[in-house]
Structure 1
Amino acid sequence: MAFPISYDPDPVDSAAHLIQVALTPVFMLSGIGTLINVFNTRLARVADHLEDVRKKLGSPKTDDTPVDPVDSPERLKTQQTRLHRRVFVLDVAILLNAIGGASTCGAAMALFVGSIRDASTSAWLLALFGIALACTVGSLMFFLADTLLSWHGLRRDTDLSLDAE
């Protein structure tokens, strides 16, 4: 007795391929969103630290204020310059990530339009996804630059506090 249902693997394979292709931008957007969250949190902490340095630089010194070599005006200005560099680097990282997210959305749209209209959108799809990957890699490079600036500052702060003892 034969079953009346025939099994044709082509529609299943094409549906599985469509699902795989459709999920790639979703995972990419999820990763980009997480990176933007990390960069924004780090930027907020740097901005808070910069605000503290500005307050210390702006507060008037009185004669009874104890002299702290770690918080000398020269050191605070150097720290302020480094923090401004970190803000710039993190701003660029966030900008590149936002462009990467927009390009990922554009790639998903090209994929969607291509599947609905049976149009050849492969060039747009590849270009937009390539831009998204390049911007994400660029944002990670700027994040690495921020990390190196942070480590350099921590090492310098440690050396200064050891010299002050």
Structure 2
Amino acid sequence: MVLDPTDISVSTVAQVIQLAVAPVFLLAGIGAFLNVCAGRLSRIVDRARNIEPLLLASRGAEHARRLQEIRTLDRRMGMVSWAIFFSVLAAVMICIVVILLFAATLTGAHSGTAVALLFIGTMASIGLGFSVFLLETRVGSRAVRIRTEILEHMEEQRDADGGG
């Protein structure tokens, strides 16, 4: 049964809007997460750009260390990009859920199964995005540890200065 759009009451539209509010809040959360990811990606890219000329000018152990750092940065860029991809995919699916909710009201179509499956897909996609982001933060935190030779040098310097 197809409903005439002029026959739909304001209360019916209000009910559909109430149903659509939760997915719209989810969109706001995904947007905030995307903002975090974009900021993180920007900082990683900036760091990689700073390392590139230093890598080209370095030799020996310093070159190997900078090469390892740039490889780690490249890996992290890829991981953040995947987190962004899964998050945007989740946002697109949420938009489709909201569209289906309104379209089903207007047309009288039975789209409950499609809405449920899309919402499950949304949760899976955002879960994957969060998981990849978690892995990237772990890789990033391991990459920024202070090297032992720096720590030992600091200790040697403190001993030489007679401090404790």
Q: Do they fold alike, i.e. is TM over 0.5?
A: yes
TM-score norm. by structure 1 comes to 0.79
Aligned equivalent of 2:150, options 137, 161, 165: 161
Distance 1:160 1:46, change over 3 A: farther
For CA contacts below 8 A with separation 6 or more, give which structure has more relative contact order. 2
Aligned equivalent of 2:92, options 99, 102, 117: 102
Does the 8 Å CA contact 2:16/2:101 hold for their aligned counterparts? Answer: no
- Tell me, which stretches of 5 or more residues in structure 1 are unaligned? 1-10, 62-66
Residue 161 of structure 1: CA displacement?
2.1
Aligned equivalent of 1:22, options 17, 20, 23: 20
Aligned amino acid, residue 159 of structure 1: T
1:115-141: CA deviation from partner (whole Å, max 9, x where unpaired): 111210011111111111111111000
Query: What is the identity percentage for the equivalent residue pairs of Structure 1 and Structure 2?
Result: 25
Residue 40 of structure 1: CA displacement?
0.7
Does the 8 Å CA contact 2:16/2:105 hold for their aligned counterparts? Answer: no
Aligned equivalent of 1:152, options 142, 151, 157: 142
Write out aligned runs for 1:50-129 (5 A). 50-59=48-57, 72-129=62-119
Residues 1:140 and 2:130 are matched in the alignment: yes
Distance 1:48 1:120, change over 3 A: same
Does the 8 Å CA contact 2:82/2:132 hold for their aligned counterparts? Answer: yes
1:29-78: CA deviation from partner (whole Å, max 9, x where unpaired): 111111111101100000000111111012367xxxxx9x7xx1111111
Distance 1:162 1:85, change over 3 A: same
Aligned amino acid, residue 30 of structure 1: A
> Secondary structure of 1:119's partner?
coil
TM-score norm. by structure 2 comes to 0.79
